[in-house]
Amino acid sequence: MTKSDNPELKASSYSPDLKIFFRDVRHGKKKQITVRSWSTIKDVKVVIQQKIHVPAQSQKLYFGPLLTSGKELPNHRTLHDAGIYRSGETLLLDIKGRSSPFSAFSARSGMHSDIAISSSVVDATPRLLRSLVQEARRALAL
């Protein structure tokens, strides 16, 4: 029996569900969630709220070039708009009310470039977050 003959395999390869991860920038724990490929960032925040019991309005999500610029993903954007097309991608979660290295960078630098990060800001960020930013920058360079 080939893949095209087996309806179970055929359905699983064309699933509209995305299994993505989110990582809290403070605790570093990576958790998986399942969302539809056409979901908005607001929909993702609601799923995260159900998983970790943090209100959606207190969540800030970062991904890709917006990660290095210090800008959070806007609620109205879809995952596709944000550049998330396949399962396995990781979003960074920061919770409002705690001091954020992203907001500190945005306020101090006044820069809005997608790739510029001041070395003094990088030195002041927690080691885990610094390694995640470096990993993202390496991925963007590929």
User: For residue 126, what pLDDT is reported?
Assistant: 73
Q: Which residues does the chain have with pLDDT short of 70?
A: 1-15, 65-70, 98-125, 140-142
Q: Where are the alpha helices (DSSP H) in the chain?
A: 7-13, 41-52, 65-69, 79-82, 101-109, 119-124, 127-141
Write out pLDDT tens, residues 69-81. Answer: 668 899 999 998 8
pTM beyond 0.75: the answer is: no
Give the C-alpha separation, 67 to 79, whole Å.
Answer: 15
pLDDT of residue 116: 52
Could you tell me which residues come within 8 angstroms of residue 106 by beta carbon, excluding any fewer than 6 positions away? Answer: 69, 70, 71
